[in-house]
Amino acid sequence: MRSFWNYAFVIFALGFAIYSSAFKEEGPEVGKEAPNFSLKQLDDDTFKKLSDYRGKAVVLNFWGSWCIPCKTEMPALEKQYERFKEKGLVVIGINIGESPIVVKPFVQSVGATFPIWLDSERIVTQLYRISPIPHTYFIDKDGIIRDQFIGEMTETIMLNKIQKILP
C-alpha cells in the first residue's frame, strides 16, 4: 500500500509540474524588443509611447505608492537619472492602477523628477506580466530589453545594470 501512495504522489507531482509550466505566463524576454505601448504622463496629461525614446537607454520601473520597496528604491532611481540623463538615460516610472490624486503627492514626497506614467487600467502591467513589484526593465537605445530586476534594487545593482545599457 505504501508503494501505491509513493507512486500516486510522484504522478501527482509530475502532473502538477507540467500543468504549472504550461500556464506560466512570463513577461517580455531579455534580448527581445520591448513591447511598445502608450500611457498618459502624470505631469501634463499627454500620452507618450515607449518608442518615443528610441536612441536612449530606458529604465522602465513599475511601482505603486503602497509598495514599501518601491518607495525605498525611488531616491536611488532619481540619483541615477540625474547622474546619467545627459548621457542618454531616461527613467520612466510606471504607476500601477492609482489615480493622479494619490500619485502626485507620493512622487513629490520621494523627490522624483523623472517622467511618471499612469497605467490606471493596468493594461501595460498585464502586457509586461508584472508581478510582484517593483519590477524594472533595462532597455537599450535600440529598444531591446537587456536586463530586468524583480524586487528592490540596491544602488550598486542599479548602477551596474544602467551602465550596460548606456549609449
> pLDDT class for 138, splitting at 50, 70, 90?
very high
pLDDT at position 45: 82
For range 47-64, the mean pLDDT: 97
Instruction: Note the CATH architecture for domain 27-165.
Output: 3-Layer(aba) Sandwich (3.40)
> In the predicted model, what is the mean pLDDT of the chain?
88
User: Would you state the pLDDT for residue 99?
Assistant: 95
Residue (of 112, 41, 31, 101) closest to 76 by Cα position: 112
At 7 the pLDDT is 53
- For residue 18, pLDDT beyond 70: no
Q: What is the pLDDT of residues 57-77, one digit of tens each?
A: 999 999 999 999 999 999 999
Consecutive H or E run containing 137: strand 135-139
For residues 43 and 81, which has the higher predicted lDDT (pLDDT)?
81
Query: What is residue 1's predicted lDDT score, i.e. its pLDDT?
Result: 58
> How far does CA 147 lie from the centroid of its chain?
11
Is 11 a residue whose pLDDT tops 60?
A: no
